[in-house]
Amino acid sequence: MSVTPLRALPIDELRQRTSTKWRKYGEDVLPFFVAETDYALAPAITEVLTRAVRLGDTGYTPPEPGVREAFVGFAERRWGWKVDPSHVFWTGDVMMGVVEILRRVIEPGDRVVVMPPVYPPFYDTVEEAGGVVDRVPLIETADGWEIDLLGVEAALAGGARAVLLCNPHNPTGTVHSRQTLAALADIAEGFGATVISDEIHGPLAYAQRPFTPFLSASDSAGRVGYAVTSASKTFNLAGLKCAVMVAGGDTQAKELRALPWEVEWRTGLFGALSNVAAYSADSDEWLASLLAALDANRMLLADLLAEHLPQARYLPPDAGFLAWVDLSAYGWGENPAVKVLRDAKVALHHGPLFGTEGKGYVRINFGCDPDLLREAVERVGALARS
């Protein structure tokens, strides 16, 4: 059955938004840097938030906001993953969850494996938890990026106590295979290490490479792991604070129950309401339309780059709306986003912020109107020809 792609909102309407994407730069700049999308909210979310505002339902988040049940239902519908409800907890956002779990599983000074190029807050989160970043870069192949399992094994053998996994990976958009995730879990279990998987982009995996939740990859993954996720990236809810923490087993669930009560209280009421609506079956049709739009845009970007920036290197992501693009052939320095912003008035995310492996790269948000994406690439292409 064909799905009608979701249409982005008009730019004059988008410029009325007050979020970071539309307020950091002036109206002469096209914003493609931060991970906010340009679509109207899913109707179920608009309905629940509108009702809350009308009622003045703006108080504290209740002890049982429905997040647990909604996520359990979504995980089973979407991925066939049967999550034990007693293993599900919630907090304000994914990085809050990650840092609180890290505080439970490492001691100050312990090393934590991260896999650059990776979402910049990963580095800060490890340090906030008292850990030390242990870099094990992804391996780039002709077909994309892969986890360096031998590198992870060496890091754990050298004393690292935890692995911070990005699944799907940001910024490359890599969906790690079940086999790779199971192998990672086996390695971690062999060294008594913990794996914490950030799975915020999981609902945005395309059909060609289905998403595997880490905790479902194998029995050993359940024994060593935690997952932290949210509807916020898929449904554009970053300003409404709510994330889900999932324990791989009873032992991890005990650790999550032992977290300070404030960790749960950081969840915003609007965040909880909107996550419940997002995870409900009422939002499944909207999500299918979103994926159809993003799927078309990720391939459109490949065509646009081939036409206007033929020396750029880009592999369409397996998941998400973020493109990892190598512009180093154009000689615009280690951080080409600086020149692109200054001279083309297009704001892209700075590649080096993702690690030294990001030198010469930019990250482009293609969760937008195709014509806006076309205009942005044309502007950068003109800069390359000048």
- What's the pLDDT tens digit per position in 219-252? 999 999 999 999 999 999 999 999 999 999 999 9
Q: What pLDDT is attached to residue 348?
A: 98
What is the model's pLDDT at position 364?
Answer: 98
The 10s digit of each residue's pLDDT in 80-134 is: 999 999 999 999 999 999 999 999 999 999 999 999 999 999 999 999 999 999 9
Distance CA 195, CA 51 (A): 39
CA 33 to chain centre: 14
Amino acid symbol at 337: A
Which residue in 230, 234, 258, 233 sits closest to 244, CA to CA? 230
pLDDT at 155: 98
| Residue-level pLDDT at 2 | 83
11-40+284-385 homologous superfamily: Aspartate Aminotransferase, domain 1 (3.90.1150.10)
User: For 288-323, what is each residue's pLDDT tens digit?
Assistant: 999 999 999 999 999 999 999 999 999 999 999 999
Domain ranges for the chain? 11-40+284-385, 46-282
Residues making up the chain, counted from first to last? 386
What's the pLDDT tens digit per position in 271-283? 999 999 999 999 9
Q: How far apart are CA 155 and CA 152, in angstroms?
A: 5
Q: How many Cα atoms sit within 13 Å of 193 on the Cβ side? A: 27
Q: What is the pLDDT at residue 269?
A: 98
Residue pair 35/233 in contact by the 8 Å Cβ criterion:
yes
Determine what percent of the chain is predicted with pLDDT higher than 90.
99
Question: Does the pLDDT value for residue 357 go beyond 80?
Answer: yes
Relative orientation angle of helices 121-128 and 94-105, to the nearest 10 degrees: 40
CATH architecture of the domain formed by 46-282: 3-Layer(aba) Sandwich (3.40)
Q: In terms of C-beta density within 10 A (0-12 exposed, 13-18 middle, 19 or more buried), how is residue 319 classed?
A: buried
Cα–Cα distance between 157 and 160 in angstroms, integer? 7
Q: Is the pLDDT of residue 1 over 80?
A: no
Band of pLDDT at residue 62, cut at 50, 70 and 90: very high
Task: Give the model's pLDDT for residue 142.
Answer: 87
In angstroms, the Cα distances linking 85 to 11, 70, 93, 119, 282 are 41, 10, 19, 29, 21
Per DSSP bridges, beta strands 313-314 and 225-229 are unpaired
